[in-house]
Structure 1
Amino acid sequence: MKKIYEFLNHFWDKGSSAAVVPEEDNRDAVKMPLFKIVFGPEGLFIDRTRNFFAVAGIYALLLSVLSLVAGQGYMCLYNDYRVGGGYCTNSIGLYVAVHIVILYVISMFMVRWYNVCFGGQPLSWRYLLLPRRQDVRSFAGNIAFILINLLSMLSLYLLYVRDPNPDWRIELVYFAFVSIGFLVPFVVMRFYALIGFILAGEKFPSFAAVWNRGRGNSLRILVSLALIFFLTFFSLFAFLNNFKLVDDKNAFYISFIVEYLYNLLLLLLVVFFTNHCYLQKTFLFGRNQDGE
């Protein structure tokens, strides 16, 4: 795959050389290889499939047990599972609490995946299961990025619930100000390299350094994340439709197998995003923030 990436990137760079930014305006910018940043997250998974099943297999089991014990299993989406006596809870408080714990477990998985695959950390039961300080940093970082990205949803909500103002000037100013939230995800995507630093346990570069080095890469990053988004959407949609055909949804072993497969798929999608963060960090700063 490395030779294919080199050929495609050489072809792309040759065709776009006429649009190079002047040197004085590009002194800190680092150009990411187009095909590596777009297809690299999936390529890294393919090269490390064995590690994925070793690490994700354990964490998918943890997530499955947690969801089933809390009555928040995947099969609770189906009404005949609920009617047939499947264990499901409707408590909003429990739902929120369980999903916070699930996010923490996923944050632990991201740390293990990153350091086993990219940090040279040997696989061991002790490393995989014992809590670490990096887990808290990973969880806090994920919460922060999720909340910041949700500002776009807040903008949508504010536009939906507003009462139109008869003064068109006030209406225009309100719309322009609130709509700024829709741009937030496109700005935040330039900073996903920071997640790589969090997972590696390294010191952050400055926000200005991340922004300056990432100039000229927004479209490449957007295409890479869009591919991950479409893979997420279609794989979860296919999973949902396929298990509608399961006849005996009430059997415990069926619900456990489905729950395990669902969490394995979920962790696969998390791996794609984690790999993207690793690639952003590596292309912009090398293997540490000094670019060495």
Structure 2
Amino acid sequence: MLQKEKHNDLLQKALNIKKRFLQMYQAANAGHIGSSLSCAEILTFIRFGWMNETDEIILSKGHAAASLYSLLAEDGTLSQSDIETYYKNNTYLAAHPPAGKIKRIPFATGSLGHGLSIAAGLGLASKLKKNGKKVFCVCSDGELNEGSTWEAALFIVHQKLKNIVWFIDRNKLQGFGRTEDVMQMEPLADKLKAFGFEVLEADGHDFNSFEKVKDSFNEATKPIAVICNTIKGRSWKQFEDKLDSHYLPMKDNMFDSINAEIELHYQQTLIK
């Protein structure tokens, strides 16, 4: 269980990150709002609740790039002037993360199914170098349609890469519908266990749930896969668990509404 101060600090950082990427989406009148809200707490905990400065984070679901850019602004890697170039001509803050342009984004992602393979390579390199580096990879559940994801999963288990933590953003929606309608995934935990992972489930919007995952990582004897049960469009009641939030452009009236809702949710979740 997190101490009150740490819990509330993570909540504040998540709120800052959400407000920042919502401003980015409003200015661009484009973006994957629901996908970014789905993974905001996952990214926040990895960066500010777990990883060391030498660890790697791979956002395989690159369509949620603004959430990653906002995270990097929160930790000081990017400046506000950088953030204001999002989606504009000649920017390096593109709709999907570019390769080699930004610290902590070593590889381009967004063509789904590549991130876990990248994480596997980084994890193997770390194991061979014995440098203690961890690799955190955040995938969408829609990416599980991609064969390359499962090839990487086989490789991770075969190479016993226990330094990789694989987070699956399980919001049950993807670009063209419900994940179970597009391509059935359940029983997902059983599939991952059959591959040889130690499978943990977490509330993908609860920092205490992630803290339990972190504690379990230290005791794990196999590579870990974390099924994060999330809600697409989290905290925006009109679009929670709605496919519309995947492609929805941010209009001014929507911006005011969602900011009010995420602020209210923050106040309700604070430990007093």
With structure 1 as the length reference, what TM-score do the two structures score?
0.31
Question: Relative contact order, CA 8 A, sep 6+: which one is greater?
Answer: 1
Larger radius of gyration: 1
Give the number of the structure whose residues are more often strand, by fraction. Answer: 2
Q: Which has the higher helix share?
A: 1
